Structure 1
């Protein structure tokens, strides 16, 4: 991925990791468009970043995604990168269908639908990139958030396949965060066991700036989870993560 000169869309760009990465991309000399459901959060970001654009988007609505893609391509014909960051994480007791279906729609179907809608635009660019956001929980699931963990495992698998299919046409880079101090779930922002957002973003951006850019962005903190199978201690890591003895 080229470091500057991109026109990049960031979904979920009004808060958390998405907002922090949007800030870094903007500062590096990229045209950044942030998208999300809450116009007020988008406006607050844009006010602090002159030149940053905003567009509302509901990642659970297939029709809205199609219409959004048409609008953004018309308004930003140089669009060559998309960061598929928007996501929700909700604890589930047993099988909660409402939570499960909303999580799948937001975290899995939404990114696939938006990537599909933007793919002709991206394939027409000389340097195009799709950035996905999975999680350390894609590799070792958190029992309290079964559907979230499953959608992130699916995004990891999807990223592997699309990287192979689009090789030579569109780069596919997977960002794999650990637990980070954001408002993704209640209490995360204050949890001392989570990685500080500033530290996470600094390490992630350093990896994204490498040339060539790694296909997967694993900060050191996430490797406890993401490399558990490779190390041969998956069962122990699963037990530790889920406090089983």
Structure 2
């Protein structure tokens, strides 16, 4: 992918990984539009020179309005990134967790599908373009403290594979970004010293995006242990290690 000349919509780009990648694409020369729910953040990003549009991926009408606004202002749009997501813990022994599960699926999976559906006709009509979906290393190596998050990201992976197959021959590519645990604030860096720093993650990701052809899966070095755990025979051991985090739940210490 030529990262210097894209016209890109980042759904869910007002903070964290999405915002960092939006800024990296813009710095490389691309035109970038950021979508998000918080108008105050959108105003701040507009002041930086980024395009902005309000969008709530859990609301189908909001996604359609955002699509229409983006295409009206940027008819040459060629890249859509489905970055919106929530990361929530759950106690599966407590039936009240279902509300958290619903929120997670509504945002991470259905939100992804809504954005893809909204822009698919446009990209097919132009005969070229790229969808970038965002799954997670947790979708391949579950973190038992966040069960529905893991399930939602595994679903995004499977959906991305199916979307790629169905769009074959249209000129529209599907690339799946698979982040590991990435720290996005100094506080998080102090709490999780072994996690990948946001700037380092973005360095690797942008280099991978810039390769030709663009990888079907964008895998930084820090996520390979997750992606290939079953193949490498480390899956059971790693899940057991990650299960120790369940001690954080009430009554589990």
Give the Cα–Cα distance (whole angstroms) in 2 for the partners of residues 81 and 37 of structure 1.
20
**TM-score, normalising length from structure 2?**
0.90
Q: Secondary structure at the match of 1:151?
A: helix
Q: Corresponding residue for 1:8?
A: 8
Alpha-carbon shift at residue 168 of structure 1 (Å):
2.9
Give the Cα–Cα distance (whole angstroms) in 2 for the partners of residues 154 and 19 of structure 1.
24
Q: Corresponding residue for 1:79?
A: 77
Q: What CA deviation, in whole Å up to 9, does each residue of 1:92-115 have, x standing for no partner?
A: 112512211111111000110111
Q: Corresponding residue for 1:136?
A: 137
Alpha-carbon shift at residue 66 of structure 1 (Å):
1.9
Q: Bigger CA drift: 131-140 or 117-126? A: 117-126
Give the Cα–Cα distance (whole angstroms) in 2 for the partners of residues 189 and 133 of structure 1.
22
CA 1:103–1:189 in 2, change beyond 3 Å: closer, same or farther? farther
Q: Bigger CA drift: 130-139 or 190-199? A: 190-199
Choose from 180, 183, 203 the match for 1:181.
Answer: 183
Greater per-residue helix proportion: 2
Alpha-carbon shift at residue 126 of structure 1 (Å):
4.1
Q: Secondary structure at the match of 1:243?
A: helix
Q: Corresponding residue for 1:171?
A: 173
**TM-score, normalising length from structure 1?**
0.93
Q: What CA deviation, in whole Å up to 9, does each residue of 1:15-48 have, x standing for no partner?
A: 1000000001111111100000111122222323
Q: Secondary structure at the match of 1:130?
A: strand
Q: Corresponding residue for 2:54?
A: 56
Q: Provide the aligned length of Structure 1 versus Structure 2.
A: 239
Q: Corresponding residue for 1:239?
A: 240
- Following superposition of structure 1 onto structure 2, how do residues 96-135 of structure 1 map, counting pairs within 5 Å? 96-135=97-136
CA 1:189–1:55 in 2, change beyond 3 Å: closer, same or farther? farther
Q: Secondary structure at the match of 2:211?
A: coil
Alpha-carbon shift at residue 189 of structure 1 (Å):
4.8
Give the Cα–Cα distance (whole angstroms) in 2 for the partners of residues 233 and 104 of structure 1.
28
Alpha-carbon shift at residue 236 of structure 1 (Å):
1.1
**What's the C-alpha RMSD, in Å, of the aligned pairs?**
1.5
Contact 1:19 1:45 in 2 (8 A): no
